[in-house]
Amino acid sequence: MGTVWQKYTRQPPEALQGQTGCALAGTMSQHEERDMPAHYMVGETVASYCPQCQAGLPHTIVDMKGEKIAQVTCTTCGYTDKPHAAAPKARVSRTKKGEGSPQAVAALWEAKMAAARGPERVYTRAATYGIGDIVCHEQFGTGVVLKLASHKCTVLFKDQARLMAAAN
């Protein structure tokens, strides 16, 4: 087995293929870091995350600022960027403002339906609607119009509020 330095950065490109993060990121102990050389050189191959390929791949050092790597080029796609230690974290979706639990939406729907006016109308994009109109949609069921906008209306159905096209 080679030195720690070779183990982490001087691997052949085939060994780095398909990795999802930099081989250096969070994998070395303090004594392994101590054994690594103090500096890199332009032209060396290092492991880095490529945002274009969306994988950890070998990169060639193109530019240095002192002893720090400033720019690398992906050996697979040729994309030049600053070195990235790991893949970006996945975003966690948040509930939209105003959306509550299904029970809260159902309770609001029942209250709005009780206060709604007029007969139930079949939903079409070509129709115009007013706030409080009862709408029957073939997929979402019965709902009540909450808001109006240019060529749109927000309709509260039993499961959630949806933005619908309209001729308003």
Q: What is the pLDDT of residues 14-41, one digit of tens each?
A: 554 554 444 444 444 444 444 445 578 8
Give the pLDDT mean for 100-106. 81
Do residues 154 and 163 make contact, with C-beta atoms less than 8 angstroms apart? yes
> Can you say how many angstroms the Cα of residue 159 is from the centroid of all Cα atoms in its chain?
25
* pLDDT above 60 for 124: yes
How many whole angstroms separate alpha carbon 70 and alpha carbon 49?
A: 14
pLDDT in tens, 30-71: 444 444 455 788 999 988 889 888 888 899 999 999 888 899
* pLDDT above 80 for 1: no
Backbone angles phi, psi at 16, to 5 degrees: -95, -10
Say if pTM beats, i.e. exceeds, 0.85.
Answer: no
Sketch the domain layout of the chain as residue ranges: 4-81, 102-165
User: Which of 144, 162, 152, 154 has the alpha carbon at shortest distance from 108?
Assistant: 144
- At 5, list the tokens: 């330095």
DSSP letters of 15-71? HHTTBSB-TTTT---HHHHHHS-S---TT-EEEEEETTTTEEEEEEEEEEETTEEEE
Residue 20 is predicted with a pLDDT of 44
